[in-house]
């Protein structure tokens, strides 16, 4: 029984290690998205004759960039959730506690 608990603890430890790179990747994408939006908004304001046009353009760009980031984040989260569900199902099939 103690051996099974050790195996389960190792599985949870591996799952926690998988989450760390995902979180770091999400943070990096969010930072990059914020920088891109700021840079593009500045460029658009310089190129545009109207501040309203620049403001609308930068907002649309921000929505587009954040949509891409959110899509990537959700994809990573779903992959991780799927792996955890599969691991839990295997444990249940083998009669181990989850």
How does pLDDT run across 14-58, given as a tens digit for each residue?
Answer: 655 655 565 566 666 666 666 655 555 555 555 555 666 778 788
- Give the separation between CA 8 and CA 69, rounded to whole angstroms: 33
How long a stretch of residues is the chain?
A: 98
The pLDDT of residue 36 is: 58
The pLDDT of residue 25 is: 66
Q: What is the pTM of this model?
A: 0.38
For the stretch 60-83, pLDDT in tens is 888 888 888 888 889 888 988 888
Best CA proximity match to 72, nearest among 20, 23, 14, 15: 23
Please give the residue that has the higher pLDDT: either 72 or 11: 72
């Amino acid at each position: 029984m103690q051996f099974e608990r050790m195996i389960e603890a190792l599985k949870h430890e591996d799952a926690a290690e998988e989450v760390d790179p995902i979180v770091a990747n999400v943070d990096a994408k969010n930072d990059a998205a914020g920088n891109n939006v700021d840079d593009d908004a500045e460029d658009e304001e310089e190129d545009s004759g109207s501040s309203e046009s620049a403001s609308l353009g930068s907002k649309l760009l921000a929505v587009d960039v954040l949509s891409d980031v959110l899509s990537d984040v959700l994809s990573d989260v779903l992959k991780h959730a799927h792996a955890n569900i599969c691991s839990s199902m295997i444990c249940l099939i083998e009669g181990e506690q989850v």
